[in-house]
Amino acid sequence: MKTLKEMQQQVDDYIGGFKAGYFTPMENIVRLTEEVGELAREVNHVYGPKQKKLSEQQKDIGLELADNLFILLCLANSMGIDMTESFEETMKKFEQRDYNRFERKS
């Protein structure tokens, strides 16, 4: 299993193969918004009331999540953000702030 750091490096190696390099942060946010919309559509089809059109193919929700992760890693890389460090800080925040927010398992 790859670490976030390894995933960021893999994305960087891939993007580094193109002359254009990374899109700007604003362009990546727009791309992320598009990908979140695609994910939302699939979740709505599977877990919500919206039925697929007969002409629409079923998509894999896991792959839609991975598309979002790819764009997030592109965004982080383009801004020099280490997602492992950022994730650790976020988990600390949740573990402290929300420790008693929800009923805990025995």
Domain membership of residue 105 (yes or no) is: no
* Cβ partners under 8 Å of residue 70, min gap 6: 11
In 3D, which of 62, 91, 83, 63 has the Cα closest to residue 10? 83
Domain membership of residue 91 (yes or no) is: yes
What is the per-residue pLDDT across 19-76, written as a single tens digit (0 to 9) for each? 999 999 999 999 999 999 999 999 999 998 888 887 878 889 999 999 999 999 999 9
pLDDT at 103 exceeding the cut of 90: no
Q: Could you tell me the CATH number of the domain that includes residue 14?
A: 1.10.287.1080
Rounded distance between C-alpha atoms, residue 88 and residue 41, angstroms: 30
